[in-house]
Structure 1
Amino acid sequence: MLEFAGFLPFLLVIGMAAIQLGLVGYGANQAGSAARAAARSESLAPGTAQAAADAAASAWLDPEAAGGGGDAVTYTVTVHVPPVIPLFGDGWDVHRTATMPNDRENEGS
């Protein structure tokens, strides 16, 4: 019983670190999806990138889209992943970038 009680804090920290790693992976996946959505939306209709990024990612990650383009539209989305254990600081920012062809350039053809 004493051995288990002494080892339990280590097991809890390892479990919470695994959850944190999963959250960072989830944040990276959501940032990638939001970047693709923002770039595609902006390539079709100007000024719609942030709304597309917001719709494509979980709201609690607070996605921020930045970018623009000419022949191709490139957007980078940053999401903030909060910490599970407060000792890890105030979380991580995860960035993902996507590029789409600019379909507005081809409208007149």
Structure 2
Amino acid sequence: MVPFLMLIALAGVQLGLVAYCGEQAGTAARTAARTAALPDPDGGVAAGRQAGQDAVSDWLTATIGFPQNDEATIKAEASVRVPSVLPGVHLFGPVSRTATMPKEDTTP
């Protein structure tokens, strides 16, 4: 009975990690888009990518991309790899989230 209960507990922890990584990916995407939408020197794609990576927990790694940009908006996509509670067993792929922000208007 104990091995079965341990398997259930590990499955619960793994699902919690998936949800947490999804939340972190959303935070990274929003932060990256918000920062990239700022005018230079505070904003831009490079600053947005760095801000998105800095927004996630230290033990997670976020990959930030900017698939669609136009004159009015900027879209950021963040992907976070889900760690596994069982070494060598990876049941879940990376979790991705996107965010779109309007570019800041700098006209006087």
Which residue in the other structure is 1:10 paired with?
Answer: 4
Q: Which runs of 5+ in 2 are unaligned?
A: none
Which residue in the other structure is 2:49 paired with?
Answer: 50
SS class of match (1:48): helix
Which residue in the other structure is 1:3 paired with?
Answer: none
1:15-36 deviation digits (Å, cap 9, x = unpaired) = 0000000000000000001100
Which residue in the other structure is 1:69 paired with?
Answer: 69
SS class of match (1:13): helix
Greater helix content: 1
Which residue in the other structure is 1:89 paired with?
Answer: 90
1:19-34 correspondence to structure 2 within 5 Å: 19-34=13-28
Q: Percent identity?
A: 38
In the aligned structure 1, how far is the partner of 2:62 from the partner of 2:26?
11
In the aligned structure 1, how far is the partner of 2:89 from the partner of 2:97?
22
In the alignment, which of 30, 34, 47 is matched to residue 36 of structure 1?
30
- Given the superposition, is the C-alpha separation of residues 41 and 31 from structure 1 closer, same or farther in structure 2, using an over 3 Å criterion? same
**TM-score where L is the length of structure 2:** 0.86
Runs (4+) of structure 1 moved beyond 3 Å? none
Contact 1:82 1:92 in 2 (8 A): no
SS class of match (2:94): strand
RMSD: 1.5
**Aligned length in residues:** 101
Q: CA deviation at 1:89?
A: 2.3
